Amino acid sequence: MFERYSEGARRVIFASLWSARRRGASYIETEDLLHALIRYDRGEFPAISAEVFFGAPADHEDSAESRQPFFSDGVATNLLRELHEDPDPVSAVPRGEKLEATPHDVTDFCR
């Protein structure tokens, strides 16, 4: 099923799962998708990948600079605050904080 999605869409789904699991949820909700979309839009997926997939390279060819952002910085910051998320870049997550790795099969979490 996921082979039909673009690489960016797959990354948003995995980041949504990461967001849901951080909240302790067993499934992805709308706020998780929005959180992931904002982080993708801001070009923060390399930092998320480095934290979630231990040992993953922190540089991806998919750069926020190569596309037009969907959200302005102000809108993204306000939305993250409304979601009770830190509006600062994800790279601010302290190193050494143990985050649970995202499973490769997200179908159990997509309802």
Report residue 66 as tokens. 């190569």
pLDDT at 81: 92
pLDDT at 91: 59
Low-confidence ranges of the chain (pLDDT < 50): 92-93, 95-99, 101-102, 104, 109, 111
**C-beta separation of 77 from 35 below 8 A:** no
pLDDT at 20: 93
pTM, to two decimals: 0.66
**C-beta separation of 48 from 18 below 8 A:** yes
pLDDT at 34: 94
pLDDT at 25: 93
pLDDT at 55: 60
pLDDT at 85: 86
